[in-house]
Amino acid sequence: MRKSQNIEDMKTQTINNKQDVANKTERITGSEAIVKSLIAEGVDILYGYPGGAIMPVYDELYKFQDQIHHVLTRHEQGAAHAAQGYARISGKVGVAMATSGPGATNLITGIADAQIDSTPLVCITGQVFSHLLGSDAFQETDIVGISTPVTKWNCQVTKAEDIPQAIAKAFYIAKSGRPGPVLVDITKDAQVSELDFKYEKCKGVRSYYPIPKTNQKSVDAAAELINNAKKPLIVWGQGVILGQAEEELKAVIEKSGTPAAWTILGASALPTSHPLNVGMVGMHGNYAPNKLTNECDVLIAIGMRFDDRVTGSLDTYAKQAKIIHFDIDPAEIDKNVKTDVAVLGNSKESLAMLFDALNENTHESWLQEFKDLYDIEFEKVINDDINPTKEGLTMGEVLKQINIESKGNAAIVSDVGQHQMIACRYADFNVTKSNITSGGLGTMGFALPAAIGAKMAAPEREVVAIIGDGGYQMNIQELGTIFQQKAAVKIVVLNNEFLGMVRQWQQLFFDKRYASTEMTNPNFVAIAEGYYIKARKVTKRDELEDAVKEMMASKESYFLEVCVEKEDNVFPMIPSGASVSDIRLS
Amino acid sequence: MSEDIKTFTISVYTENNIGLLNRISAIFQRRHINIESLTTSQSEIDGVNRFVIVVNITETNAIKIVKQIEKQVETIRAYYHTDEETIFTESCMFKIKSELLFDEPQIQNIIKESDSNIVTVNKQFFVLEKSGRRHEIESLRRDLNVFGIMQFVRSGRIAVTKDEMKITEMLSAFNNQ
Ligand SMILES: Cc1ncc(C[n+]2csc(CCOP(=O)(O)OP(=O)(O)O)c2C)c(N)n1
């Protein structure tokens, strides 16, 4: 069993090794070529699960275990999400591996999640011998066909000599331009036959233009709109993080004095405490940026895709405003919201160009409108969430306690549901890439394995998973991975004994008919302890501070169950299909 | 503000890749857009395929669809055009009993006037081939149907555009990078 402390050593080895792997040609098997290709791409950790059609590769992973660390998850879905967590916190490509048939199909949810959230993943699946393809062989499944709609690119390799090129292309495509998941399916005969191996990184694919050129004229047009705006509003998304444009974003915001709001996946690109950070947009976002979306005169969307959970009804979304859209993906322009000025390109470059063309400005009275609405939200919602006076514990006060202990430096990995919205609303973020959550797909079961990947990619960071009692049980088996890897993940289950978010909708829109949302839960502490993970359960307010302190001080993984109020609701809320300006506070 | 639905011919230049047809057709399927016809063949450039896809949609949707197609890694370039901007044709084949040629002299006139070719004749049947616009093919089919058609098949549209396609330039720019 390896320890995560060794990861740093492994990284250097990997880098050193990369040099000699790349330079000489040698006669090796396809499976060895797969492992050497991964090493040449700088992969230090991958997540997966073995089986018949991928066994030759596992045999090589065994031989190269001093250079590349394979993490055995407890389910292939866990492997995919762990690879996502790894990618999201590090900006590197996450790698997942599985056998053919059920192993490969178990990856699909994670791949779909990575596709909609633009996460760079390389998934390698074993496949039956090529002469058996199409014969309904044991554990044969058309994984290339199945994964096509949810991958950026995929391919099947049936010859050993095609392996290095396919893997090189996979890494290049996964991480370039708008990142995404790719899948390389490799038949068993390709794994066991030999090739002359020499690794060359892919530098381009002739049919693929990952980064469109930024047009100076459109930057100037955007700058002119912003320079003349009285009430500009920036809404940024994950494109800022993926483009490593956090500094450029901050500079643009500060120079133009523009209030700036974020989508769920944009969170943490600008510190929570920044005076121009006006909070989250979207269904459970903050009151001010949602309301004022329909009051601004220029809306500057940066690396976001106008998801329906952000816009509410499109017919009433920012109709009064000129719309500027910065994006790397031309297909996003005018997809949901018609833009007045589109600026294509990598956010780092396009924002730097914008910065040069902007006038220094301030918008004090406009900013005051945000502050006034924040005060209303504080009084009606936030105060009760984080400083509750009722008996039952709230999710918000747990987040507040975590903020105090982490000083805003933790990476928060949230699952899907009420606790996710609370985590994104109330977590303090000082550091970028710290809000790891399933945004576009809303995949329950994401957080526990994603937290493992995040912690292993960034062992120096505090990683806190915030999970509901429902989603926790969707991938609870990954406690085994945490234990085996000694991954020091902090797990907080906010237990309301309900599928809370669905229950909230049932309360609000289905006359409280709680159809199949009530959960009779097991003894979570005993389960964690069964995996030899330190565990504690909190049911009263006066125990909370001490428990969170103990958890955050722990050097090892720690499980904290907090029993919260059963029927609390998350507000503000834009009912689905309503306008952003119809956001409800209760 | 409802926009007119028009016939668009979408031309896609691609790498020759097995999975790509799946990827491209999925773009239409997900959006419930019926593909009127889809033809794929070699293009004017060696190793580069060309898809010709005909759909009836609004121009706004045509733009979105073309962007989604271009987003696929193995798509080199995609375009959409109206009927006025393309030169297009379809082709069809009829299999008809040979005895009719002699029993029904009108058939010979129909064939002559329809600008079609006889591909083969034997004792049992003859095969007629025609290419042209849809309405021409349809009118021929109606005319022949009176006498009985053993088999009929019509291809999808193939089209070339009146304006230039700069694919070769794009590809050589890549090679010179
Ligand atoms: C895999 C999956 N299945 C179903 C859903 C629908 N869904 C969204 S939130 C939610 C409830 C989540 O309950 P829980 O994990 O207990 O978190 P809470 O909302 O109570 O914080 C459900 C069922 C989903 N998002 N993902």
Helix (H), strand (E), coil (C) string for A242-260: HCCCHHHHHHHHHHHCCCE
Q: Which residues in B lie closer than 8 A to residue A149 (C-beta atoms)?
A: 23, 26, 30
Q: How many beta-carbon contacts under 8 Å exist across A and B? A: 48
Distance CA A327, CA A118 (A): 13
| DSSP E strands, A139-249 | 153-157, 181-187, 194-197, 232-236
Which pLDDT score, from 0 to 100, does residue A30 have? Answer: 98
Q: Shortest CB distance from A335 goes to which of B30, B64, B70?
A: B64
Distance CA A138, CA A99 (A): 12
A570: Cβ below 6 Å to ligand 1? no
Distance CA B43, CA B46 (A): 7
CB within 8 Å: B30 and A149 = yes
Closest-CA residue, ligand 1 atom 2, reads: A444
Specify whether A170 is located in the same domain as A238.
no
Distance CA A172, CA A210 (A): 10
Distance CA A388, CA A158 (A): 61
Nearest CA among A568, A280, A562 for reference residue A401: A562
Residue A582 domain-assigned? no
A497: Cβ below 6 Å to ligand 1? no
How far is B174 from chain A, CA to nearest CA, in Å? 6
Q: Which of A117, A395, A425, A499 to mutate to test the pocket of ligand 1 (most atoms within 8 A of CB)?
A: A499
Specify whether A22 is located in the same domain as A162.
yes
Specify whether A187 is located in the same domain as A316.
no
Distance CA B177, CA B169 (A): 12
A120: Cβ below 6 Å to ligand 1? no
Distance CA A34, CA A418 (A): 42
Reading across the β-sheet that carries B6-15, which strands appear in turn? B35-42, B48-57, B6-15, B75-82
ipTM entry: 0.92
Does the pTM exceed 0.80?
Answer: yes
Neighbours of A319 (CB within 10 A): 11
CATH number of the domain to which A432 belongs: 3.40.50.970
Nearest CA among A84, A90, A44, A87 for reference residue A431: A90
Of the pLDDT bands very low, low, confident and very high (cuts 50, 70, 90), residue B173 is confident
| Cis ω before A572 (30° cut-off from 0) | yes
Specify whether A156 is located in the same domain as A304.
no
Residue by residue, pLDDT tens for chain A (586 residues) are 344 444 444 444 444 444 455 568 999 999 999 999 999 999 999 999 999 999 999 999 999 999 999 999 999 999 999 999 999 999 999 999 999 999 999 999 999 999 999 999 999 999 999 999 999 999 999 999 999 999 999 999 999 999 999 999 999 999 999 999 999 999 999 999 999 999 999 999 999 999 999 999 999 999 999 999 999 999 999 999 999 999 999 999 999 999 999 999 999 999 999 999 999 999 999 999 999 999 999 999 999 999 999 999 999 999 999 999 999 999 999 999 999 999 999 999 999 999 999 999 999 999 999 999 999 999 999 999 999 999 999 999 999 999 999 999 999 999 999 999 999 999 999 999 999 999 999 999 999 999 999 999 999 999 999 999 999 999 999 999 999 999 999 999 999 999 999 999 999 999 999 999 999 999 999 999 999 999 999 999 999 999 999 999 999 999 999 999 999 999 999 999 999 999 999 9
Name residue A385's amino acid: D
Range of the domain at A460: 391-563
Structure tokens given for A142: 């058309």
Residue A382 domain-assigned? no
Residue A137 domain-assigned? yes
Q: Strands A260-262 and A277-280, how do they pair?
A: parallel
| Number of folded domains that form chain A | 3
Q: Which residues contact A24 (CB under 8 A, 6 or more apart)?
A: A198
Name residue A527's amino acid: I
Class of residue A133 by CB neighbours under 10 A (exposed 0-12, middle 13-18, buried 19+):
middle
**In this complex, is the C-beta atom of B71 within 8 Å of any C-beta atom belonging to chain A?**
yes
Nearest CA among B59, B21, B63 for reference residue B38: B21
Residue A202 domain-assigned? no
pLDDT digit string, tens, across residues B61-120: 999 999 999 999 999 999 999 999 999 999 999 999 999 988 988 999 999 999 999 999
Distance CA A31, CA A50 (A): 13
The helix or strand, by DSSP H or E, that contains position A546, with its residue range, turns out to be helix A541-553
Residue A572 domain-assigned? no
Neighbours of B99 (CB within 10 A): 12
Interface test with B, best of A206, A211, A328 (most B CBs within 10 A): A206
Residue A578 domain-assigned? no
Which pLDDT score, from 0 to 100, does residue B65 have? Answer: 98
Nearest CA among A110, A325, A112, A355 for reference residue A239: A325
Specify whether A353 is located in the same domain as A440.
no
Which 3 state secondary structure label does DSSP give B89?
strand
Specify whether A81 is located in the same domain as A185.
yes
**Which ligand 1 atom is the nearest neighbour of the CA of A442?**
25
Specify whether A175 is located in the same domain as A49.
yes
Contact A365, A388 (CB under 8 A): no
Specify whether A222 is located in the same domain as A148.
no
Specify whether A343 is located in the same domain as A468.
no
Task: Give just the sign of the alpha carbon dihedral A156, A161, A167, A169.
Answer: negative
How far is B90 from chain A, CA to nearest CA, in Å? 29
Which 3 state secondary structure label does DSSP give A267?
coil
Specify whether A449 is located in the same domain as A551.
yes
CATH number of the domain to which A354 belongs: 3.40.50.1220
CB within 8 Å: B73 and A206 = no
Q: Which residues pair with A437 in a beta bridge?
A: A414
Q: Which residues in B lie closer than 8 A to residue A204 (C-beta atoms)?
A: 174, 177
Specify whether A98 is located in the same domain as A31.
yes
Specify whether A423 is located in the same domain as A519.
yes
Distance CA A346, CA A489 (A): 33
Q: Which residues in A lie closer than 8 A to residue B73 (C-beta atoms)?
A: 152-153, 173, 205, 207-208
Contact A154, A148 (CB under 8 A): yes
A562: Cβ below 6 Å to ligand 1? no
**Which ligand 1 atom is the nearest neighbour of the CA of A494?**
21
**In this complex, is the C-beta atom of B173 within 8 Å of any C-beta atom belonging to chain A?**
no
Q: Which domains does chain B have, with CATH numbers?
A: 6-87 (3.30.70.260), 89-154 (3.30.70.1150)
Q: How far is the CA of A472 from the centre of ligand 1 (A)?
A: 10
Which pLDDT score, from 0 to 100, does residue B134 have? Answer: 95
Residue A448 domain-assigned? yes
Residue A584 domain-assigned? no
How far is A175 from chain B, CA to nearest CA, in Å? 13
| b/e map B138-177, b = 16+ CB within 10 Å | eebeebbeeeeeeebebebbbbeeeeebebeeebeeeeee
How far is B32 from chain A, CA to nearest CA, in Å? 15
Q: Count Cα neighbours of A187 within 13 Å in the Cβ-side half-sphere.
A: 19
Q: Which residues of A are part of the catalytic machinery?
A: 76, 138-139, 188, 501
